[in-house]
Structure 1
Amino acid sequence: MIDIAAQIGATGREVTEAEGLVRVLLTRDYDAEPADVWDALTDPDRLRRWFLPITGDLRVGGRFHLEGNAGGEILHCEPPARLRVTFGDATSLVEVRLIAGPRTRLELEHSVPVAFAGSAAGSLFVGPGWDGAVLGLALFLAGEVADDPVAAANSLETQRFNLASIEAWVAASTGAASFAEIEAGRAAALAQYCPDVKD
């Protein structure tokens, strides 16, 4: 059973709009060495156990595809510290940074042009999905492996987590987007991430 409040509280969220880009930033600390977190993020056999199966040419300049999701190009790979890829579109960039410390800090930044996102409320289209990913990684690193990560991601329990995630992204977006934009983004996120849960 997921401790939803604890899991939501374990992730930091920021939304900014500047220089024509909307940036979504998630931060989370893991009780694992950077090399282990990196391996969980980049080894296809481990990745499919907590996220999605991946195929493609998994080296800089190569293209990848996540089953049932997006794909892109690997732009930069610096083990075990930094990975930068396109995600779904050449203008949609995802960068993952791992910072060593008493715990390993993961920073996941997803940036897209404002024209693509519509406004900073575009965070509501991607933020909850990335919340689910950093939750899945946390559970995996703690030894809690789902038999079917996709089924787990669509479960009613995860949809309840997604509902709390959406509200956290609404709070992170407040001040960066108008009320009307946030409410439209919230409605779209509810339909996408928790269709079976009524808030």
Structure 2
Amino acid sequence: MIDATEQINAVRRQLGRRVLEAGEARVMTISQTYDAPLEDVWDACTNAERIPRWFLPVSGDLRLHGRYQLEGNAGGTVERCDPPKSFAATWEFGGEVSWIEVRLTPVESGRTRFELEHVAHVDQERWDQFGPGALGVGWDLGLLGLASHLAADGSGVTPQESEAWMVSEQGRQFVTASSERWGEASVADGTDAGQARAAMERTTAFYTGAPTT
């Protein structure tokens, strides 16, 4: 498994807002640069045979206007696709609809910058309770899985191995650090520091089972 501290530090996390037809939405952006060529990262993110190796089993039609379903998680419709640069889709889960967009950019030395934007209407009560970490920790785990899958030294792990790692001490430390970083992003976005800290602790407890203070 990739070093947890190194992975946490390799990821950039930002928050913002966007006005949609249904009103103001929260925008979460998470990004990382991988030591892999653009075409390989694109294939890892769009190939139904590779996605389960680092994320979740997926079924459906992974083409423009096709429907997809991630096992035990979200499904949706592919709304835009510009291979090998970007794709966008609805993210439908628990009766709610949000939107994701993945953008890939080649950078120096044959590396690729992966950026995922998640746009969602989140009611204030739920935001106050858990903050951005409710979604953000999950995406951090996704980027960790992709990093492991793309590792040049072949150190990739299966999702099943990742589940076991999640309940290990290192896994709990990773989730805690991710939750803390999303709390910091929330403060940078204007949230009161005490409120952000309380939401971060509730999110950490949700993922790790640790008691809140």
TM-score if structure 1 supplies the norm length? 0.88
Question: Residue 113 of structure 1 aligns with which residue?
Answer: 121
Distance 1:23 1:194, change over 3 A: same
How far apart are the structure 2 equivalents of 1:181 and 1:191? 16
Alpha-carbon offset, residue 197 of structure 1:
8.8
Q: Determine the structure 2 residue equivalent to 1:137.
A: 146
- Number of residue-to-residue matches in the alignment: 199
The Cα offsets for residues 74-104 of structure 1, whole Å up to 9 and x where unpaired, read as 1111111111011125641110000111121
Partners in 2 of 1:113 and 1:44 — Cα distance?
Answer: 28
Q: What CA distance in whole angstroms lies between the structure 1 residues aligned with 2:13 and 2:179?
A: 11
The offset of 1:119, in angstroms, is: 4.0
AA partner of residue 154 (structure 1) = M
- Write out aligned runs for 1:34-183 (5 A): 34-88=38-92, 91-102=97-108, 103-115=111-123, 118-119=126-127, 122-142=131-151, 143-147=154-158, 148-149=160-161, 151-152=163-164, 154-156=166-168, 157-176=170-189, 177-179=191-193, 181-183=195-197
SS of structure 2 residue aligned to 1:61: coil
Please state whether the residue corresponding to 1:45 is helix, strand or coil.
Answer: coil
Q: Secondary structure at the match of 1:22?
A: strand
Uncovered stretches (5+) of structure 1, i.e. residues with no partner: none
Residue 155 of structure 1, CA deviation: 3.2
CA contact (8 A) 1:25 1:109 kept: yes
Segments of 5+ residues of structure 2 without an aligned counterpart are none
Equivalent residues of 1:30, 1:138 under 8 A apart = yes
Q: CA offset at residue 183 of structure 1?
A: 4.0
Where in structure 2 are the equivalents of 1:25-40 lying within 5 Å? 25-40=29-44
TM-score of the superposed pair, with normalisation by structure 2: 0.83
Q: Which has the larger radius of gyration?
A: 2
The one-letter code of the counterpart of 2:204 is L
